[in-house]
Structure 1
Amino acid sequence: MPQRGEHNYSATVVWTGNSGEGTKHYRAFSRDHEITCGDKPTIAGSADPAFLGDLSRYNPEELLLSSLSACHMLWYLHLCADAGITVSSYEDNAEGRMIETKSGRGHFDKVTLKPIVSIGENDDSDLATSLHEKAHSLCFIANSVNFEVACEPEIRRG
């Protein structure tokens, strides 16, 4: 039984890219895979096209970036509701940078969240802006990565 405050997750990733030769050589197989979590809809995954992946499918780097963005958004909306700020729309055009090293390894060195948030006409825009810092400090995913996650919010009225 999980401890109070402990949350466990599971995901199933199944490689669907065996083109008949398995992994006989680097170009012999597709990077396609499917991600499922319980009975939720399947996510079609692949590698980034730079690594012979399918552009029409989500790659792990995009999913990491999306996780950071979504976690920040959910905390931010929670904090705004608690602070009496009415958010009518929220859109984040997040960007991330991954560096490939000479050894063939890679790592993210920075992600920048760029949320555009619309708030009520009479809401405090300074408070709405400052709540992004608090959301960042509370974000479970941002607290789990070892690279910079910056936030450049834009607050709009209406």
Structure 2
Amino acid sequence: MTTHSYAAVVTWTGNRGTGTSGHRDYGRDHDVTAVGPAPIAGSADPAFRGDPARWNPEQLLVASLAQCHMLTYLHLCTIAGVAVTRYVDRARATMLAWSDGGRFEEVVLAPTVTVADPAMAQRAASLHDDAHRACFVANSVNFTVRHEPTVAVEL
């Protein structure tokens, strides 16, 4: 077994002068940083007084699941000899919120994959199941992560 460690820093930037003196008195803006990549401008979901121009944690969770599935899938395609020429995932999620909390119900990954050869299409479709089972992030959440892939052949 191999252990990997990850670190990120979240810095609140939403103090409008009086801190958290009231729910409407502070911004939900923050920066997400780590050694290496450019910062991510974050906020709360607009439904929770956040800035719609910034990423919110819910979007980042969905993006993380989509990224992990894609990277795992592309790796498996390489091993299987499936030449993927395009990959776009329009992932979506359902979350329930109540007065003192909430939880994700489901994330649906909807990748559209283009392969170089029609003979690769069936194998390309089946590798999504393997990618789902191997995805580190999907294996770490306590809600359903489904995938609804589409496979096309490059013209």
Instruction: Show the counterpart of 1:13.
Output: 10
Gaps of 5+ in 1: none
1:145 aligns with 2:148: no
1:156 aligns with 2:152: yes
Closer/same/farther in 2, CA of residues 85 and 123 from structure 1, 3 Å limit = farther
Instruction: Show the counterpart of 1:116.
Output: 112
1:40 aligns with 2:42: no
Q: What letter is aligned with 2:49?
A: L
Question: How many angstroms does 1:40 deviate by?
Answer: 1.6
TM-score by length of 2: 0.97
Q: Which runs of 4+ in 1 moved over 6 A?
A: none
Question: How many angstroms does 1:104 deviate by?
Answer: 2.5
Name the SS for the 1:70 alignment partner: helix
Q: Distance in 2 between matches of 1:14 and 1:123?
A: 50
Gaps of 5+ in 2: none
1:91 aligns with 2:95: no
Name the SS for the 2:119 alignment partner: coil
8 A contact 1:86–1:123 mirrored in 2? no
Query: Identity over the aligned pairs, expressed in percent?
Result: 49
Q: What letter is aligned with 1:96?
A: A
8 A contact 1:23–1:29 mirrored in 2? yes
TM-score by length of 1: 0.95
